[in-house]
Amino acid sequence: MSPGRSTEHGKVWLVGAGPGAADLLTLRASRALAAADLVLYDALVDEAALGLAPRAAKFSVGKRAGRASVAQDTIHALLVRAARAGKRVVRLKCGDPFVLGRGGEEALALAEAGVAVEVVPGVSSAIAGPGAAGIPVTLRGVSSGVLVLTAVPEDACLKVLTAQDPSVVTCVLLMALGGRARIAAHLLERGFRTDVPAAVVLGATTARAWSWIGTLGELGGVTLPPDRDDLPGLVVLGDVVAAAAPIRAALGVEPAFTLGYHDLAEVHLGSA
């Protein structure tokens, strides 16, 4: 059903806003926003994206660590109530609705309430964040896969991470900035190399983007810029961080990887 058509009982669109920049929204997301009566949006959604919904009432229901936020059950109730009142509702979520964004919980709540729902996928920051910083999450001959984890709850994250080989799999950690020192210490205690390449990416795809490149041994002590503590961020672990140095140089992304790690940048990519 087109977002432009009204429905007797209303409908909810779970829309992915992408990793940051508003021009990374999909055309389908733009159409849903243009037709919306109500937009409930995450805290980190770009203001320009909200401008795509000129006729809608807009309310922030986002969650930020350590700050007061709207309870998830309350968000479910708001979505159901508005849809039952015949509203076209967009739940605008950062990244992709179904990638560590509680979109699955919201879809289940809407389905249980008998409310029509449509998912509009978005560009996930787990992939686009490293990519915007010049780090491909997979690279033939270096990384054969990518593991995406949330660091909350931390115990579950650490259990999975400990079983990985960073020379084979790229690990992307969301919501890990606050716990980066504990995560690094845990992995080093369990035998991870201190020189495992690591990266921190803040505000990917936005004008305020910032990145750091180093090693697992240094990750816990990295200082984040105090003027950007409002930005979302992620941590990347794996040999592909070092191998991507020429890509970062070509894109003009600083800093380059210059910490003496063995020269993965010359990896032979022609083999099967």
Task: Verify whether residue 58 is a known catalytic residue.
Answer: no
How far apart, in whole angstroms, are the C-alpha atoms of residue 224 and residue 272? Answer: 39
Judge contact between 80 and 115, C-beta under 8 A. yes
Q: Which two tokens stand for residue 55?
A: 């006729």
Q: Which two tokens stand for residue 181?
A: 């020192």
Which of 37, 46, 93, 175 does the annotation list as catalytic?
Answer: 175
Starting at the edge strand found earlier in the chain, the sheet holding 88-93 runs 57-60, 38-41, 88-93, 11-16, 117-120
Task: Verify whether residue 42 is a known catalytic residue.
Answer: yes
How far apart, in whole angstroms, are the C-alpha atoms of residue 218 and residue 182? Answer: 12
Which of 42, 46, 96, 239 does the annotation list as catalytic?
Answer: 42
Q: Which two tokens stand for residue 7?
A: 């429905």
Q: Is the peptide bond before 153 cis (omega within 30 degrees of 0)?
A: yes
Q: Which residue's structure tokens are 């937009």? A: 39
Q: 3-state class of 91 per DSSP?
A: strand
**CB-based burial of residue 34 (10 Å sphere; 0-12 exposed, 13-18 middle, 19+ buried)?**
middle
Closest by Cα among 183, 180, 178 to 158:
183
Q: 143-168 as b/e, with b when 16 or more CB fall inside 10 Å?
A: beebbbbbbeebeebbeebeebebee
How far apart, in whole angstroms, are the C-alpha atoms of residue 15 and residue 121? Answer: 6
Residues 6+ apart with CB under 8 A from 179: 151, 154
Active site positions, annotated: 42, 63, 175
